[in-house]
Amino acid sequence: MATFDISELRTITILYAEDESALRKQETKIYSKIFKEVFEASDGEEALEIFKKNQDKIDIIITDINMPNMSGLDLARQVQEISDVPFIITTAYANAEYMLEALDMGIKKYINKPVTINKIIQDIEKVVVQHRKEKNIKDIAKTLISKTKSDSKELNDLFLANKQLEKSLTYYKQLADVYISTMTVNKSGEILEVSSKFSELMQYDESELMSANISILKENNSSISIQKEMLEAIHKKTTIDSKHNFARKDGKVIP
């Protein structure tokens, strides 16, 4: 005995195309009590027009294969150009050629008449549920792809901004090296880094100052007081405002 998920069936809207008027009216009456909404058409052309106007609502199309004006297969071809809505084909004739053509088109079900109501309702539910799962997976995949592209663009923009910042920092460091007299020492008074401007001012080559003690720059080579000031500045994380005089390589004192 077929079992159904009534709550699921009540979410499904169908388009039913059948040229036999009595059969169509009878089954439409039954479907209307089971599904959310039912659209009926007497041939393929009418079904196509109904679908175009209501494609956002319709979850599945059930159609007879042999109908006047437009067959069920021709209807499927037309609809597949604008939508991936699933189809169930019904036919009163066992025709292997039609069946193969329907399968080749991706028709989900091909059912021979007479059709039992329980069987076709079960097939409708199964096809729609599977289609919704596939659509949900595709939507998730599209979202992930879109997000990946977006994240990739953001990362690329961040990378470019960082490269620009590095260029700017390098540029300003080069400017400072040429125009500003700066010197970096450690807690022991050992010179770690000097700018080109500082080397020029003190008349030393940069290599002479690197790793030397700051005492070589002090008047009378006395570095005790300046080292004390530097240690305090390092501890407090402040700059040093030295009142001491520095001596150039030629002995001239620079106040």
User: What does the pLDDT look like over 12-66, one tens digit per residue?
Assistant: 999 999 999 999 999 999 999 999 999 999 999 999 999 999 999 999 999 999 9
Please name the residue that has the structure tokens 């106007």: 53
What per-residue confidence (pLDDT) applies to 32? 95
pTM score, whole prediction:
0.57
What residue spans of 35-116 are helical by DSSP H? 44-54, 72-80, 96-104
| Contact (CB, 8 A) for 194 and 172 | no
Q: What would the pLDDT profile of 141-195 be if each residue is shown by its tens digit?
A: 777 777 766 667 776 777 777 777 666 666 556 655 556 667 777 777 787 777 7
How many CB atoms neighbour CB 23 within 10 A?
Answer: 15
Q: Is the pLDDT of residue 216 over 90?
A: no
Give the pLDDT of residue 225: 58
Q: How confident is the model at residue 97 (pLDDT cuts 50, 70, 90)?
A: confident
Contact at 8 Å (CB) between 62 and 32? no
Find the mean pLDDT for residues 96-124: 83
Domains of the chain: 6-133 (3.40.50.2300), 180-254 (3.30.450.20)
Q: What is the pLDDT of residues 229-254, one digit of tens each?
A: 666 666 665 555 554 566 777 767 66
